[in-house]
Structure 1
Amino acid sequence: MTHDAIHQPAAESSATTAGAVSDEQTQRIPRALIAALDTSPTAVDNSVDSGGQKTGAKPSAVSVWTTAQSSPAAQRKNKYTPESTAHPAKMLPEVVRHAVAHYTKPGELVLDPMCGIGTTLVEAVRLGRRAVGVEYEPHWVEVANANLDVARMQGVGGEKGIDARVFHGDARQLVTLLPPEYVGQAALVVTSPPYGPSTHGQVSVSPGAGVQKYHHLYGNTLDRGNLANIGHHRLLAGFTRILAALRTFLKSGGHIAITIRPWREHAELIDLPSQILACGRAAGLIPVERNVALLARAAETDLVARGSFFQRDFIRKQREAGLPLHLIAHEDVLVFRTALFPLRSRELEGVQREPEGLSRSVCHREARVPGEVEAAAS
């Protein structure tokens, strides 16, 4: 779920529900230790896989994806229902199309464990691939299915019909949620983690009321089963669990493309891409690329920004406060792959079980960078 605005997660509420996700308290970690963790390989695969690549190697920036030559609205025109607009964070269709075209072949399976309005699924089937997705919120499951119905009505999939399914549930339970028929079948995963309550959304202007914000939250903010509502460090721990489970459903050498960007919290940059990179390693994945997906149009001599209202408003306020920020023109695309040989039965069993002490993983500890809202620790 790509986010179309500057993201500033708010302090986590102390309120909980009966279905709260239990996590241990977070401990403050020195910067020196964080840096050391970032450079240490943590993948559970062998140090060198059958392809000869070291699993601990850092990915390099391989390419720039020109994924915003047309506006987000133009990319979705006539392919998505009007209800899709209300989702607080939507992945650019061209980002999915680029990933699908470069990492899969026609007929292969594409998976998104947090599919939102189904952008990954819709674009995959329109390129002749099979698709499967998981979504936590029931409303977006319905919207994703509706968007797939649009593709069906437009003749996508040929005489045999479109091969795409959406499952309702928590992606952290992926191994028990998806049917066995998908084990070892996916050639590619395209996804993006939620960032929690933030300033994305839509606006309206009412006389005497000023600017009003709407469609900017993920479901019920008290729902602790939603990754968007459980705080930054728990989000990373949960995302690591999802990445580990994805290994069960990926082919040998299958790829995972994750769109992500940093954000500023109290004027300090939170390097979420590097934290997700650590999560991928902790989940036993091999980092292979760190690309740039443009959120601005590449013109003849410069980039034409497509900043949202909230981006521009945030930048204006920061500049007035003396911080010379600029509109975000791109987001990172981290690409991992699985080992080039199948998981051994013992390794597969380990992935299918929730790892003990997962909240103490590298990515969990890296989440406590200086500047994080203190109330996030509970």
Structure 2
Amino acid sequence: MIKMTTSVWATGQQPSRSQRRHRYLPESMQHPGKMLPAIAARAIDTYTQPGDLVIDPMCGIGTTLVEAVHQRRNAAGVEYEADWAKLAVANLAHARRQGATGSGTVLAGDARGIAHLLPDLAGQAALVLTSPPYGSATHGHIRSTRDTGEPGIHKWNQRYSRDRANLAHQSLPVLLDGFAQILTGCRALLRSDGVIAVTVRPYRHRGELIDLPGHVQKIAERVGLVLADRIVCLLCGLGQDAILNRASFFQLHEARKGWARGLPIHATAHEDLLIFFDRTRSPATTSGYSNAA
């Protein structure tokens, strides 16, 4: 049966930029909504073995794929935005130059039709690992007056999609419906003991905290998946006597504004990793690999 893993993973010991340095092409930092490499690497190590197939239906610049091929797994990804798909291909080539032995492929397309895009991989995936979009733009990179000596806030690399057909531009109900279609297609790609892992966190929209992990769990159950595990993946670092903050400028800015208004708002310090298996497969016959301590 699926083995329960350590409930908290210390995946934020190094900042995102440090985790990507040399392992990814420098232009990868232009994508503002990247999966943390340590989360992808730990999930792949936990739920797969060398030679297994890992799929990411919304692969962005290829974090899941790169971490998979470095661990001697094979990987396939789909990415809606052609520019990011090209960068994912380039990151895979970079991984091969660094000695990665797994094979990887990227297809530019709409993951809502992933089962039709990857028909030859039906029933083969040991792990589907992905994350839903949080909107067409995020905080990106920030420089404040303190950093530049110039008045005002300077932002760049905060937008990863301008295509209005991208799910990232849609309202929450439409986004969730589209993600449900993606999960349905991914079910067809799973082998009998495969799992689907979704890394997701709450976010604020016009001051309201949106429980995206809760929404994802509900739609996953709606399309025939069963929650097997919920893991806390830390975005902060753990020092000897303190927590090492990794929150963005705007996360801290919003938290401080909230406290000034008497609202106990906190910066997000973790992501949930939701682990699902196919409801049609009995948990007693669904075997996962747990290499975690």
Which residue matches 2:132? 193
**Which residue of 201, 207, 228 maps to 1:261?**
201
Which residue matches 2:244? 304
Which residue matches 2:266? 326
Bigger strand share = 2
For residues 253 and 103 of structure 2, the distance between their equivalents in structure 1, rounded to whole angstroms, comes to 42
Which residue matches 1:203? 142
For residues 84 and 293 of structure 1, the distance between their equivalents in structure 2, rounded to whole angstroms, comes to 22
For residues 118 and 165 of structure 1, the distance between their equivalents in structure 2, rounded to whole angstroms, comes to 10
Q: Is the CA contact (8 Å cut-off) linking 2:32 and 2:137 kept in structure 1?
A: no
Alignment of 1:197-346 (within 5 A): 197-204=136-143, 210-220=152-162, 223-339=163-279, 341=281
Amino acid at match of 2:153: V
Amino acid at match of 2:267: L
Query: What is the CA distance between 1:227 and its match in structure 2?
Result: 0.6
Which residue matches 1:94? 38
Q: Is the CA contact (8 Å cut-off) linking 1:145 and 1:166 kept in structure 2?
A: yes
The C-alpha deviation readout for 1:191-222, integer Å capped at 9, x for no partner, is 000011454211245675521222112321xx
Q: Is the CA contact (8 Å cut-off) linking 1:256 and 1:336 kept in structure 2?
A: yes
Q: Secondary structure at the match of 1:245?
A: helix
The C-alpha deviation readout for 1:208-262, integer Å capped at 9, x for no partner, is 5521222112321xx3320100111100000001001101111112111111111
For residues 134 and 309 of structure 1, the distance between their equivalents in structure 2, rounded to whole angstroms, comes to 31
Q: Secondary structure at the match of 1:289?
A: strand
Q: Is the CA contact (8 Å cut-off) linking 2:141 and 2:158 kept in structure 1?
A: yes
Amino acid at match of 1:280: A
* Percent of aligned pairs sharing the same letter: 47
Which residue matches 1:348? none
- Is structure 2 residue 175 aligned with structure 1 residue 175? no
Query: What is the CA distance between 1:73 and its match in structure 2?
Result: 1.2
Which residue matches 1:16? none
For residues 333 and 282 of structure 1, the distance between their equivalents in structure 2, rounded to whole angstroms, comes to 18
Which residue matches 1:20? none
CA shift in 2, pair 1:323/1:266, >3 Å: farther
Unaligned runs of 5+ in 2: 283-293
Amino acid at match of 2:180: T
Q: Secondary structure at the match of 2:276?
A: strand
Query: What is the CA distance between 1:62 and its match in structure 2?
Result: 5.6
Q: Is the CA contact (8 Å cut-off) linking 1:204 and 1:212 kept in structure 2?
A: yes
CA RMSD across the alignment: 2.0
CA shift in 2, pair 1:185/1:332, >3 Å: same
Larger Rg: 1
Task: Please give the TM-score of this superposition, normalised by the length of structure 1.
Answer: 0.70
Q: Is the CA contact (8 Å cut-off) linking 2:196 and 2:277 kept in structure 1?
A: yes
Query: What is the CA distance between 1:323 and its match in structure 2?
Result: 1.5
Amino acid at match of 1:325: I
Q: Secondary structure at the match of 2:106?
A: strand
Q: Secondary structure at the match of 2:153?
A: strand
Query: What is the CA distance between 1:265 and its match in structure 2?
Result: 3.1
